[in-house]
């Protein structure tokens, strides 16, 4: 009975992880500009990959595999938001404009206060 429950849990985590990965891929293809695409890829991609790795850790009973899966999940949770933030900041600094439907531009306020000039080019 416990093996059946474990297999159901692993299967549902794999399906949910695949769903989040698919959502991230659709977001990258369908969203209008760089910043929203990065948001979709980093958030849904981390959750999808994390669920797939967690399913692997539950399925395997080898301590080495479980340790590596947990370490990979922690690594993803720590690095993906930071790298997405730094990429977005670099893109904004090089002049990629926000989408016309964006509501708030906090970095633009900082630029005008510092007197950096233009808020971005038409890329």
Q: What is the pLDDT of residues 62-89, one digit of tens each?
A: 999 999 999 999 999 999 999 999 998 8
pLDDT of residue 97: 80
Residue found by looking up tokens 């404009």 in the block: 97
pLDDT of residue 111: 63
pLDDT of residue 27: 92
pLDDT of residue 86: 93
For the chain, the domains span 2-114
List per-residue pLDDT tens for the chain, 123 residues long. Answer: 699 999 999 999 999 999 999 999 999 999 998 888 988 899 888 999 999 999 999 999 899 999 999 999 999 999 999 999 999 889 888 888 878 887 777 777 666 666 555 555 555
């Amino acid at each position: 009975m416990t093996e059946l429950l474990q297999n159901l849990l692993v299967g549902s985590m794999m399906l949910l992880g695949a769903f989040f990965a698919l959502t991230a891929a659709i977001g990258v293809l369908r969203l209008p500009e760089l910043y929203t695409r990065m948001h979709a890829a980093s958030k849904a991609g981390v959750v999808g990959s994390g669920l797939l790795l967690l399913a692997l850790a539950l399925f395997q009973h080898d301590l080495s595999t479980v340790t590596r899966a947990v370490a990979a999940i922690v690594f993803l949770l720590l690095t993906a938001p930071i790298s997405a933030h730094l990429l977005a900041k670099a893109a904004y600094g090089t002049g990629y404009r926000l989408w016309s439907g964006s509501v708030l531009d906090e970095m633009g306020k900082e630029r005008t206060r510092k007197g950096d000039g233009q808020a971005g080019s038409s890329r």
